[in-house]
Amino acid sequence: MPDSFYAAEIAGYLPRCNPYGLPLDSRADYTKSDWICWTAAMADDRAQRCALLAPVARYLRETATRVPFSDWYDTKTGRYVHFIARSVQGGIFAPMLRLEK
């Protein structure tokens, strides 16, 4: 895909972020933390990556739900929806694959 595609995707996502992250789609406020991290890895701009990742960190700090890192949670309330400590959470390391410019 051309770089312009990724830039447009990120630009479209940032305004849609809720306190605990970017909703997965328009049907509900839930998200997948691994998906957010993969999405953040697409951003060339470090500030944009941080803007996508900071709400995930906030979720981890503030959620009242006390289960191991859930990958499926509500982006407005921080409550887990389903799934606990799954292997898909390896996706949270995707931003580490980016080389700083």
**28-62 tens-digit pLDDT:** 999 998 889 888 988 888 899 999 999 999 998 99
CB 69 within 8 A of CB 83: no
- Each domain of the chain, given as residue ranges in start order, spans 3-97
**Separation of alpha carbons 30 and 71, rounded Å:** 10
The two structure tokens encoding residue 46: 């470090």
30 versus 91: the higher-pLDDT residue is: 30
**10-19 tens-digit pLDDT:** 999 999 999 9
Is 7 buried (19+), middle (13-18) or exposed (0-12) by CB count in 10 A?
Answer: middle
**Separation of alpha carbons 5 and 10, rounded Å:** 9
Q: In terms of Cα–Cα distance, which of 2, 99, 87, 12 is closest to 51? A: 12
